[in-house]
């Protein structure tokens, strides 16, 4: 992203100039005291466009934040990050993977999962694997130890996006060990996972690799961690805008890009959690306010 020296809140419509034909201009000059209704309407539109300077209101959950190509000093941001319609996860997929959950509402499961978060998060941190091949394998092994065995991960997510890459280069893939029950409980749009119940009795555990395409792989770890712990103060602190001075607008723009990427991931995965969107929305508003203060 190019360096930003000012923050301009413009919409695409505000950037378009309204052209008035010469004949209309002459008529308005000849009769300035009594303009026609059509000319009044034209003038009103021009004035309204000049006064309307909100952040861009058009959004697309599958698009990146767009900088204006003709000027390195402008960045177009949506004023709000609209909350998706929150549905519910498919309980049958949970029961298919965990028959003991039959008859248990997904909402109740989400309330209970944070109780297991400490052991699961410790296992994720302790899990070690090496992908030596340049081709994504179907399975990966992780080293087994007491911490991993206490709450062994079930799958290995291979997270990537579909952004264009240069010819001859390889697409970057990030690997995340996960417990599928957490993602199944929170993500309504999650693709099907192969059943996995790795053995903890040997020195290694074999995990199926699940490719997962999301809009913003670089912010997935933040979302993933929140789904495990549901600890809103830590999540809110991670999204708080940095204390930037007037010369640090680029830092704030980078932070806005992180929040936007997190929101795009949540929308794409269909995350069922109202608190998550509350925090994203408040963090977005605070970041935009900081950017406007810098550019004032």
Q: Is residue 177 part of a domain?
A: yes
Domain match, 115 and 227 both: yes
**One-letter-per-residue 3-state SS of the chain:** CCCCCCCCCCCHHHHCCCCCCHHHHHHHHHCCCCCCHHHHHHHHHHHHHHHCCCCECCCCCCCCCEECCCCCCCEECECCCCCCCCCCCCHHHHHHHCHHHCCCCHHHHHHHHHHHHHHHHHHHHHCCCCCCCCCCCCEEEEECCHHHHHCCCCEEEEEECCCCCCCCCCCCCEEEEECHHHHHHHECCCCCCCCCCCCCCCCEEEEEEEEEECCCHHHHHHHHHHHHHCCHHHHHHHCCCCCCCCCCHHHHHHHHHHHHHHHHHHHHHCECCHHHHHHHHHHHHHHHHHHHHHHC
| 124, 214: one domain | yes
Residue ending a domain, among 76, 107, 125, is: 76
- On whether both 228 and 205 belong to a single domain, the answer is yes
Judge if 67 and 97 occupy the same domain. no
Same domain membership, residue 45 and residue 131:
no
Q: Based on the structure, what is the number of domains in the chain?
A: 2
Residues 226, 110 within the same domain:
yes
What's the domain range around 274? Answer: 91-295
Is 47 among the domain residues? yes
Same domain membership, residue 38 and residue 137: no
Q: Is residue 136 part of a domain?
A: yes
112, 224: one domain:
yes
Per-residue pLDDT of the chain (296 residues; tens, 9 = 90+): 333 223 333 333 333 333 334 444 344 444 444 444 454 445 444 434 433 323 332 333 444 454 444 444 566 788 999 999 988 999 998 899 899 999 999 999 999 999 999 999 999 999 988 766 678 889 999 999 999 999 999 999 999 998 888 888 888 899 999 999 999 999 999 988 888 888 887 888 999 999 999 999 999 999 999 999 999 999 999 999 887 665 588 889 999 999 999 999 999 999 999 999 999 999 999 999 988 887 76
Does residue 43 sit in the same domain as residue 176? Answer: no
Residues 149, 271 share a domain:
yes
């Amino acid at each position: 992203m190019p360096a930003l020296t000012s923050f301009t809140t413009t919409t695409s419509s505000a950037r378009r100039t309204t052209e008035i034909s010469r004949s209309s201009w002459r008529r308005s000059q000849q009769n300035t005291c009594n303009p026609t209704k059509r000319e009044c309407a034209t003038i009103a539109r021009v004035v309204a466009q000049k006064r309307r300077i909100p952040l861009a209101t058009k959004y697309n959950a599958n698009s990146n934040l767009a900088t204006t190509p003709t000027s390195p000093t402008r960045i177009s941001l949506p004023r709000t990050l609209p909350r998706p319609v929150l549905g519910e996860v498919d309980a049958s997929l949970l029961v298919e993977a965990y028959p003991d959950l039959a008859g248990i509402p997904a909402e109740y499961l989400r309330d209970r999962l944070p109780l297991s978060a400490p052991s699961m998060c410790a296992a994720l941190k302790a899990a070690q694997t090496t992908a030596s091949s340049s081709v994504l394998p179907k399975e990966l092994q992780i080293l087994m130890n007491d911490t991993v065995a206490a709450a062994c991960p079930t799958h290995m997510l291979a997270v990537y996006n579909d952004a264009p890459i240069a010819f001859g280069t390889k697409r970057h893939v990030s690997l995340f060990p996960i417990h599928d029950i957490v993602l199944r409980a929170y993500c309504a749009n999650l693709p099907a996972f192969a059943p996995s119940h790795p053995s903890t009795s040997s020195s290694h555990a074999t995990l199926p690799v699940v490719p997962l395409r999301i809009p913003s792989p670089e912010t997935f770890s933040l979302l993933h961690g929140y789904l495990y712990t549901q600890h809103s103060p830590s999540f809110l602190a991670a999204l708080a805008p940095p204390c930037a001075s007037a010369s640090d607008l680029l830092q704030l723009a980078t932070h806005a890009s992180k929040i936007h990427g997190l929101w795009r991931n949540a929308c794409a995965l269909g995350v069922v959690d109202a608190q998550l969107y509350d925090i994203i929305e408040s963090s977005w508003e605070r970041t935009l306010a900081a950017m406007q203060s810098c550019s004032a």
